[in-house]
Copies of this chain bind each other. A is one copy, B any other.
Amino acid sequence: MTAADLGPEGTRPPPTRRRPGGRTARIRQQVLDAVVAELGEHGYDGLTTDAVAARAGVHRTTVYRRWGDVGGLLADVFDAASDDDWQPPDTGSLESDLAALNQEIHAALTARPSVVTALIAASFRSEKAAQAQQRLWEDRYARCEVIVSRAVRRGELPPRTDARRLLVAATAPLYHQLVLLRTTPDPHMPGQAARTAALAAAAGAFTEPPSTRGA
């Protein structure tokens, strides 16, 4: 099994001449588009390598050889997704920024078909996909930290506010309710969660003392 991967060219020296040519990139795009389309139509359960290859107009073997398994396929989708120019909303206040952010999350999670939900589900199956998803989320939350820094600059929040914890507190309830608990979507859930986090932040829940423990 592993010996096959480590075959003659398995050593794979980094300076190997690769082919950035048109066909490789084109097929990659076709396959990735097919994955997203299949995820949207049949969810993760119905995501088979065969269907992806057929939709992409590519042979099964190509998919298996380049991406290995479904997990590698999903990991590539995650990596491709982080190549956009998404920016967190900038509405003028902390709570409305968080509310707008939550609105986006809510929309993405309740859209039918929800590719996001399917991707989250898929990330549980493969370690590669999970790591890629982790990278994507890290990237997203890092971009969102500007929301907090703007609020600090405005004087809405004290300095030394832990941006990451604030953002997680604001967004986690949505993911929890919609992804894990699977409760019916509530239109004013995003606003409520944003308000809750803003209130907690104003109460100093996320100010990080240099070394003092919270509890």
Q: Do residues B180 and A165 form an inter-chain contact, with CB atoms below 8 A?
A: no
| Chain B residue at smallest Cβ distance from A193 | B169
Interface residues of A, CB < 8 Å — how many? Answer: 44
Q: Chain B nearest CB: distance from A114 CB in Å?
A: 12
Q: Do residues B213 and A188 form an inter-chain contact, with CB atoms below 8 A?
A: yes
Instruction: Give the one of A126, A180, A182, A195 with max B CB within 10 A.
Output: A180
Q: Do residues A196 and B191 form an inter-chain contact, with CB atoms below 8 A?
A: no
Provide the bound-state CA to CA distance between A206 and B141, in Å.
25
Q: Do residues B182 and A169 form an inter-chain contact, with CB atoms below 8 A?
A: no
Q: Do residues A192 and B214 form an inter-chain contact, with CB atoms below 8 A?
A: yes
* A34 in the interface (beta carbon within 8 A): no
* A215 in the interface (beta carbon within 8 A): yes
